[in-house]
């Protein structure tokens, strides 16, 4: 499942990028850090022998979606709208403790505090998923969900059109 050193380097980059994203005051910077995070996750996908998902991650997520984010941020000029837009100190402490609680819970679980971890090392031959296999799976077992996502995207497209900003004098239906 990958080289440990490579994993640690990538993990550090990913966590750092995520941290920077949630703390940066400028929304454009946050978006750029998120792209960094997505890229590292894409590399993780490659390490996990999932090349198709990795490519989709780069093109769709890092590419299309994040570009859309940046576009909206710049359209609205929203990058500097709020100065210090954090919570109160008390709020921050409470939220931080909650986050810590989640991480600690998982850490305890991984350390086997709740009992032996249910995850055994793979007895199944490791998966070598080429895009063709994924495509066959998608269009055989999951063809109906696939069709439904198509409808979902259509609905989303229509929704966006309906939500479009109107000119003055043009009345909402």
Considering only residues 27 to 86 of the shown chain, the ones binding other proteins according to CB under 8 A are 27, 30-31, 34, 37-38, 41, 44-45, 48-50, 52-53, 56-57, 60-61, 64-65, 68-69, 72-73, 75-76, 78, 81-82, 85-86
67 vs 32: CA distance, rounded Å:
10
143 vs 146: CA distance, rounded Å:
5
Asked if 84 and 64 touch (Cβ cutoff 8 Å), the reply is no
99 vs 24: CA distance, rounded Å:
18
> Which uninterrupted H or E stretch holds 145?
helix 143-162
Q: Is 143 near other proteins (CB under 8 A)?
A: no
35 vs 58: CA distance, rounded Å:
9
Judged by CB under 8 A, the residue of 9, 19, 93, 147 near other proteins is 19
Distance from chain centroid for Cα 108: 25
**Residue closer to other proteins, measured from CB, 85 or 173:** 85
**Residue closer to other proteins, measured from CB, 48 or 171:** 48
User: What are the tokens at 106?
Assistant: 């998982």
Find the shortest distance in angstroms from Cβ 171 to other proteins. 15
Asked if 134 and 49 touch (Cβ cutoff 8 Å), the reply is no
**Residue closer to other proteins, measured from CB, 68 or 173:** 68
* 75-134: contacts with other proteins (CB under 8 A): 75-76, 78, 81-82, 85-87, 92, 95-96, 98-99, 101-103, 105-110, 114-119, 121-122, 124-127, 129, 133-134
Find the shortest distance in angstroms from Cβ 170 to other proteins. 13
Number of residues that bind other proteins (CB under 8 A): 89
């Amino acid at each position: 499942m990958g080289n440990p050193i490579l994993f640690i380097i990538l993990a550090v980059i990913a966590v750092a990028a995520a941290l920077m994203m949630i703390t940066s005051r400028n929304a454009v910077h946050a978006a750029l850090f998120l792209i960094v995070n997505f890229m590292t996750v894409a590399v993780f996908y490659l390490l996990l022998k999932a090349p198709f998902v990795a490519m989709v991650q780069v093109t769709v997520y890092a590419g299309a979606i994040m570009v859309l984010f940046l576009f909206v941020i710049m359209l609205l000029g929203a990058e500097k709208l709020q100065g210090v837009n954090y919570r109160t100190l008390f709020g921050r402490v409470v939220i931080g403790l909650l986050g810590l609680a989640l991480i600690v819970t998982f850490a305890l679980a991984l350390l086997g505090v709740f009992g032996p971890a249910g995850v055994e090392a793979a007895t199944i031959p490791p998966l070598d998923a080429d895009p063709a296999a994924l495509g066959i799976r998608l269009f055989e077992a999951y063809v109906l969900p696939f069709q439904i996502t198509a409808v979902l995207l259509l609905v989303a497209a229509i929704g966006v059109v309906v939500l479009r900003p109107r000119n003055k004098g043009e009345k909402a239906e």
